[in-house]
Structures are given as C-alpha cells and as structure tokens.
C-alpha cells in the first residue's frame, strides 16, 4: 500500500521568511496530493491540492510542487505570518483506490514574530 | 451552513462498553471517511464509504465497525472498546463521484477508554 513520509516534523521560521515542507510517497499510481492545515484544537482544513497532471500550483502565498519521477511533493509558504503557525499534513491517494487517503505524520510550523 | 457534525465531542468510558460515534453531513456528499489522530502518527484512516451501502477498510480498521444506510450518516461503532482506542477521531466527507475531492472534516471526537 501507499506510504507517505513527511519532513521535517517541526519547523521554526522567522516572520516574513519562507517555509518548505517535503513529502515522499511510495505508490507510483498516486495521482492526488492534498495539503491540510490544522490549528491547535481545530479540525484539519484543506489549504491546497494538486493532481499528477500538474507540476506546480499556487494560491497567494502558498504553492505546491510535484515531482512524479522522484515521487515527492512539497509545500511552500512565502512571507510567513504568525497565523501560519499550525500543523501541516500532506496526503496521497491513487485513482485505483481513490477512497483511500494516506497522510504524512505532520509538520509543526512555528512562526516567530 | 455546510458542515460535518460529530457527536459526542468528548467521551470517557470503560473497556468493553459498546459505543457509537455519530457523523452526519448536510452537503449531499457521496464519500465519507473516519480517521483517528494520534501524536506523531498523523491521521490514519479507519474506514471509508464511497456511497450508501458501500464501505471499505482503511489502514487501521481492527476493533471498529461502520455502516452507511443513508447518504448523510456514517456512524463509527466500537463494539468492545479497549484503551488502545483512546484517540481523537475525525469524520470527513467529500463529493466523491469516482475521484478524489477535497475532504471536509468534522470538529472531532475525543475518546478516552479507561
């Protein structure tokens, strides 16, 4: 089955700097890669997703890149703000078993003013 | 308001006492799923359902049951809870329709099994 590894587990950045979180996946049939943000005590919320027919997707300060050959994808947050502090999860799913979503272990991002 | 509603939000119970966590969505979503969240392990999928009367195992289905008799409801049943099922549980739903769509999560249910 699919295995998703996420690094780093914690990330501390100065406000205004960029943050990058990386994930690798094992199933070459995976074609859907969402990213979720979970603030303390809250539910996970989708912030961006990418499908395998696209190499990069951007939404304001957030971007995701996908390298299908290397089987890894990354989340980039530019001009970080204190409200970006949260746990971020990557996930992967295959069109063959699209109902199954495999999550990474999460990255705790702390943005210090 | 579009939402996924879980009940109860918190529950402390004892080993072996059957319990049900309800999940309901008002978005007419085909797909629903249950996850458990444990420190350092992220979100792990327990069961999912692609439509009414269609359910499938996720990565950690042992000790859990689900049913999908109606589109809006997807209860999670622990027939004989054990302490290792102490966790934070999330229900989620999405449009589905044969492909991955963004999942909407409920507020979570914190279960403590003593």
Predicted confidence (pLDDT) per residue in A9-49, tens digit: 999 999 999 999 999 999 999 999 999 999 999 999 999 99
pLDDT band at B87 (very low <50, low <70, confident <90, very high): very high
Q: What is the mean pLDDT of residues B22-48?
A: 95
- SS3 call for B85: helix
Residue B19 · residue B13 · CB < 8 Å: yes
Lowest mean pLDDT among A100-104, B68-72, B89-93, B109-113: A100-104
For tokens 């495999």, name the residue.
Answer: A102
Look at B42 and A45 and tell me if their CB atoms are within 8 Å.
Answer: no
User: DSSP state, A104?
Assistant: P
Residues of chain A found within 8 Å of residue B30, distances taken between Cβ atoms: none
> A59 with A75: CB under 8 angstroms?
no
Q: B41 vs A34: CB contact, 8 Å cut-off?
A: no
What's the pLDDT at B96? 77
User: Nearest 5°: phi and psi at B27?
Assistant: -110, 5
Tell the burial category of A76 from Cβ atoms under 10 Å away from its Cβ (0-12, 13-18, 19+).
Answer: middle
Mutate to test the interface with A, among B31, B39, B42 (most CBs of A within 10 A): B42
């Amino acid at each position: 089955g699919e295995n998703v590894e996420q690094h780093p587990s914690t990330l501390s950045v100065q406000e205004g700097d960029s943050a990058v979180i990386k994930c690798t996946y094992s199933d070459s049939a995976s074609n859907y890669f969402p990213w979720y943000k979970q603030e303390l005590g809250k539910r996970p919320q989708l912030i961006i997703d990418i499908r395998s027919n696209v190499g990069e997707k951007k939404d304001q300060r957030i971007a995701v890149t996908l390298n299908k050959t290397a089987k890894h994808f990354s989340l980039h947050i530019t001009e970080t703000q204190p409200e970006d502090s949260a746990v971020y999860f990557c996930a992967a799913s295959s069109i063959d078993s699209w109902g199954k979503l495999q999550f990474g272990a999460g990255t705790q991002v702390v943005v210090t003013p | 308001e579009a939402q996924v509603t879980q009940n109860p939000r918190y529950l402390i119970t004892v080993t072996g006492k059957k319990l049900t966590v309800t999940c309901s969505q008002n978005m007419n979503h085909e797909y629903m799923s249950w996850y458990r969240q444990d420190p350092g392990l992220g979100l792990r999928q327990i069961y999912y359902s692609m439509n009414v009367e269609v359910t499938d195992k996720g990565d950690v289905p042992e000790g859990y049951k689900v049913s999908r008799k109606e589109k809006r409801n997807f209860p999670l049943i622990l027939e004989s809870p054990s302490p290792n099922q102490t966790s934070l549980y999330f229900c989620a739903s999405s449009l589905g329709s044969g492909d991955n769509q963004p999942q909407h999560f409920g507020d979570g249910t914190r279960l403590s099994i003593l």
